Amino acid sequence: MTNGLGSAVTAKVVGLVTGSSGVNANLGELTSASGTAAALVDAAQIRTGSAAADLAERAGTVKYPAVNIYCEKLVNSLAEKFRSFSGTAQMAIEVRYSADRLDGLQDGLEVYVDAVRQVLEANRGDWGSGMFYAGEYQVSFGPVKHGGANFIQTAKATFEIGVSR
């Protein structure tokens, strides 16, 4: 039914996040006056798939900040009759930020979340290949936990992509 639809939408989002007007470009704008934030340059920092932070750390090398991009849910609502898929793909961009002290942990995480948010806001509209993003998103912040450099906090931006195939 979906023919790799979740993977196709995930690949499109990864392309937007890593592209020339993606997260790194927005980090430069956000931190030009207030300081610096490390760019996402390592392939280990941007991953597809959903894995708990402690599991990812045990499975291999994790470099923070880390961004996980994945499809949470596909809903075939049959909005357009006679299409094989006509509905939504619920996507998630999860940002994990780690620091050795609690001071500034939330502020550091929010810089990366703002960069992700700006990518989403700049890419409203038709994404091609039967995908459309209306612009709505939600960001939720998780509690601080032990992990990474000493402390880790996660924020997750969720949004829906309209799909017609």
Residue-wise pLDDT for 27-62, tens only, equals 877 775 556 677 777 767 888 888 777 777 777 778
Q: How far apart are CA 76 and CA 89, in angstroms?
A: 9
Q: How many structural domains does the chain have?
A: 1
The whole-number pLDDT of residue 38 equals: 76
How many of the other CB atoms lie within 10 Å of CB of 64?
20
Mean pLDDT of the chain: 89
Q: Are 157 and 120 within 8 A, CB to CB?
A: yes
Q: Quickly tell me which residue has 């809903």 as its tokens.
A: 75
Other Cβ atoms within 10 Å of 117 Cβ, number: 17
Cα(112)–Cα(65) distance, integer angstroms: 8
3-state secondary structure of 130: coil
**Tens digit of pLDDT for each residue in 74-100?**
999 998 988 999 999 999 999 999 999
Question: Tell me, what CATH number does 116's domain have?
Answer: 3.30.2000
Give yes or no for residue 1 having a pLDDT over 70. Answer: no
Structural domain range at position 138: 5-164
For residue 162, pLDDT over 60 is answered with yes
Enter the pTM of the model.
0.90
